[in-house]
Amino acid sequence: MRAIDDDEVDRFRANLMGVFGYDPEADPHGSERFRALVDLRRTYCAFDGADLVATAAAFELGLSVPGGLVAMGGLTMVTVRPTHRRRGILRALIARHLDDVRGRGEPVSGLWASEGSIYGRFGYGVAAESDVLAIAPRPGFAHGRPVDEVAQLDDAEAADVLPRVYAAALRVRPGMFTRSAAWWRHRRFADRPDVRNGRSPRTHVVCRRGGEATGYVVLRQKLAFEPGGMAAGTLDVEELVALDGTAEATLWRYVHEVDLFPKVACWNAPVDALAPWLASDRRSITRARRADTLWLRLCDVGAALAARAYAADGALRLEVVDPFGANGPGASTVALVVEGGVARCEPATGAADLSLELSALGSVYLGGVAPSVLARAGLIRGAAAAVARADRMFAWPVAPWCAEVF
């Protein structure tokens, strides 16, 4: 097992696309983007003789947490060839990644899981979810509240405006990750024909108030007509980012009212998206599916817990069980003390108030699920008073949301 060299990038990508069933010819500039985005020192690959048979890599990201930002190793591109399953290769890749994360002082590792049954055993928990929304072509959103001005942006304007709005939203919404200039160029603004699926190129629309951008939506369209001639086009929301409720309402109303495209779909809406609460007919908006998105593993529990803000003061002694620790499975206890919304977290001894697996701590970390829910599921153990105190401390008024697969 080792990192790859520059002349092995194409081999890495060929293995990745082979396992996931992608067409290499559909993305002729993929290796160029790979080199721009991936630090080759953060690739973890398994070789069987001369054959590259398994891959993984990590992005260096900042993760927004309640009240702050924490360094995160973003685990990605994890593959093992079907010919080499059940040999411990995945466990070795994860171990390499976590060693790297610890060596770099990153308190958190995060990922989007290709399968829901894999990563819990390595200490990752679902920290953010999203809704797939479908908005039917019915009389739409309630009017009467103020709205911002909207304008369509050309590519140069989008490159200036969108990163600034996203960075401002990241300070408010947990679960988002930082995007570098290279990320914006190669991931968000590179409009590859192979991902359009017959739809239009990306369109960028901004809303403004007093001349200042307050949100944006990125969308694609696909025109269609019913047999009788009625417009039946689809508008796909790729990303909707708003700094407040007025901006969000403006953008949802905009996408719902585009002529010729009465069907609106959003694959990745925050679970607290305002769209269902704005509709004049609530049943016109369907939550087609709720999906897990960002999974987190707290690699340095003390540093991670101390990095976020809390909704209430209090103290908790937490026994955290790690099924995949550096020295094998084990448990450790920390004392979390929050005073004035500011936390400190240190190793502790003695009886714990709550006992939980590391994956459960990852799930409550951003405030996306209440500790009491996991206690009812048997994933957090302790007295009712301690669970209630954890609910008050870990709560956050904005639901976590991860805007993009990485």
**How many other CB atoms sit within 10 Å of the CB of residue 266?**
26
139 shares its domain with 232: yes
* 254 found inside a domain: yes
Structure tokens given for 268: 């990745």
147 shares its domain with 249: yes
176 shares its domain with 214: yes
39 shares its domain with 157: no
* 399 found inside a domain: no
Residue after which a domain boundary falls, among 248, 267, 291: 291
Task: Give the residue-averaged pLDDT of 41-61.
Answer: 97
State the catalytic residue, choosing from 166, 177, 216, 406: 406
Residue after which a domain boundary falls, among 291, 323, 340: 291
Structural domain including 33 reads: 6-106
Q: Measured on CA atoms in the order 42, 45, 51, 54, is the torsion positive or negative? A: negative
Residue after which a domain boundary falls, among 41, 73, 106: 106
* 123 found inside a domain: no
CATH number at residue 153: 3.40.630.30
135 shares its domain with 79: no
Give yes or no for residue 96 having a pLDDT over 80: yes
The verdict on whether 119 is a catalytic residue reads yes
Single pTM value for the model: 0.96
| pLDDT tens, position by position, 180-239 | 999 999 999 999 888 999 999 999 999 999 999 999 999 999 999 999 999 999 999 999
Tell me what percent of the residues of the chain surpass a pLDDT of 70.
Answer: 99
Work out how many domains the chain is built from and give that number: 3
Task: Give the residue-averaged pLDDT of 86-106.
Answer: 97
**How confident is the model at residue 335, as a pLDDT?**
98
Q: Measured on CA atoms in the order 63, 66, 70, 75, is the torsion positive or negative? A: negative
85 shares its domain with 142: no
Cross-strand partners of 109: 73, 297
188 shares its domain with 280: yes
State the catalytic residue, choosing from 119, 122, 124, 365: 119
253 shares its domain with 334: no
CATH number at residue 324: 3.30.1050.10
Tell me what percent of the residues of the chain surpass a pLDDT of 90.
Answer: 92
86 shares its domain with 163: no
* 250 found inside a domain: yes
* 177 found inside a domain: yes
266 shares its domain with 371: no
* 125 found inside a domain: no
* 282 found inside a domain: yes
* 218 found inside a domain: yes
92 shares its domain with 214: no
Give yes or no for residue 87 having a pLDDT over 80: yes
Give yes or no for residue 1 having a pLDDT over 90: yes
Strand order in the sheet with 285-292: 149-153, 203-209, 212-222, 234-242, 263-270, 129-135, 285-292
**How confident is the model at residue 326, as a pLDDT?**
80
285 shares its domain with 138: yes
The verdict on whether 406 is a catalytic residue reads yes
